[in-house]
Each structure stands twice: as structure tokens, then as C-alpha cells.
Amino acid sequence: MTEGDRRTTGGGPRDEEIIRRVLVGEVDLFVELINRYQQHVTRIVAGHVRRDMVEEVAHDTFVRAYTSLSTYSFRTPFSHWLATIALRACYDAWRNVSARKEVLLSGLGDEQQQWADRLLATESHERFEELARQQETRELLHSALNQLSPENRMVLTLVHLEGHSVREAAELLGWSTVNVKVRAHRARQQLRKLLEGLLRNSP
């Protein structure tokens, strides 16, 4: 059962019914979709942008969903369609701040330095992803990710950190699979260089 289907079990109208009614003029009903999917969107956005950007990007996601609701095909769950919009909103948010690159951490603690050493040493794709997902290093990792282009940041996060396949990432971002493959490879190389820089600058 899809998430969109599960939304109908509480006795309320199905997502599809709400969408059709919104499209014919009952615009206030869109609030029901916001209430149903607020946590879903916030969870996605929080995984891709800084904490101080989450509320704004989540809001932008629903604005985009409302203004493009007529393009929803009903062939996929509404939650999936909304996730695609959320990811593209995250990508655009990073494009908007890309000119203001954040300063990398000036130095690494012992634990972070050991993690960076292990990450740089591994040649295994699976081991790379395992190390990159470790929660205790998220601050360091996000600091490095902030230095990547918006495109490379999104691809690296989707493919290497969240475990999406290249095909899935391509569908979510609206890119070709070839573009995703190339950018994923480049992003991983750039991340390695950034982490090497952090190690050189650490006390």
C-alpha cells in the first residue's frame, strides 16, 4: 500500500479527491494536503538543507505544489510527486546561497580526524557510504558539502548518503541517468579533496 493510499484510512477524503476539488475551485482544501504531508516534506528538506533553511524551503515546496497542482498526473502517489518538488526546492535553495560559500571548520577533533582518515582511505563504494552516514560526523560532512556546487551536493546526498539508485536520483531531480552518474563521481572526488584540506589544516 502506498503512502498516498494510507492517507485515506482515517475516514477523510482521498488525496485524489481533494486535489480534484482544489483544481475546480475549492482552494481552501489544499490546507488538508499541507496538514497530511507537512512532516513528510519537512523530513525530506531537513536532510538536504541547513537547519535555518528548513522552514522556508518546506513552505516553498507547498507553494510550488499548489501552483503546479494541475500538472499532477495521478499516476504516482501524491507523496512521491511532493518529494520530487521538495528536492528541487532544496536544490534551488542551494543555488541561491552558492555565491556565499561557508567557511570550512578550521580544525578537526581527534574523532573527526580519524573518521576523515578512514573515509579518504577507503576505496570501497559501500564502505564510503557507510562512513559518510555516521551521525557523529554529520556536522563535519555538511560543512564540506556546503563547499560543493548545488548540483553535486544534491547528487552526492541522494546517491552516496541516502542510498538512492542512479535511476531514482535521476527521476527525483529530473535529470538524465548519465548526468547523475557523472556528477556523483565528480562530487565524491571533490568531497575527498575538501576533507583532505580539512586534515591538512587540522592542528
Band (pLDDT 50/70/90 cuts) for residue 107 is very low
Better pLDDT: 60 or 202: 60
Q: How far apart are CA 188 and CA 160, in angstroms?
A: 8
Q: Which residue ranges form the domains of the chain, and what is each CATH number?
A: 12-97 (1.10.1740.10), 110-201 (1.10.10.10)
Q: pTM of the predicted model, to two decimals?
A: 0.64
Are 119 and 128 in contact by the 8 Å Cβ rule? The answer is: yes
Please write the tens of the pLDDT for every residue from 66-81.
999 999 999 989 999 9
Residue 104 confidence (pLDDT) above 70: no
What is residue 42's predicted lDDT score, i.e. its pLDDT?
94
- Radius of gyration of the chain from Cα atoms? 19
Residue 53 confidence (pLDDT) above 60: yes
What is residue 189's predicted lDDT score, i.e. its pLDDT?
82
Are 158 and 169 in contact by the 8 Å Cβ rule? The answer is: yes
| Average pLDDT of the chain to the nearest whole number | 77
Of 61, 72, 62, 64, residue with least CA distance to 23? 72
Sign of dihedral through CA atoms 44, 47, 51, 57? negative
Please write the tens of the pLDDT for every residue from 109-167.
555 555 555 655 655 556 555 555 554 455 666 667 777 888 888 888 888 777 788 88
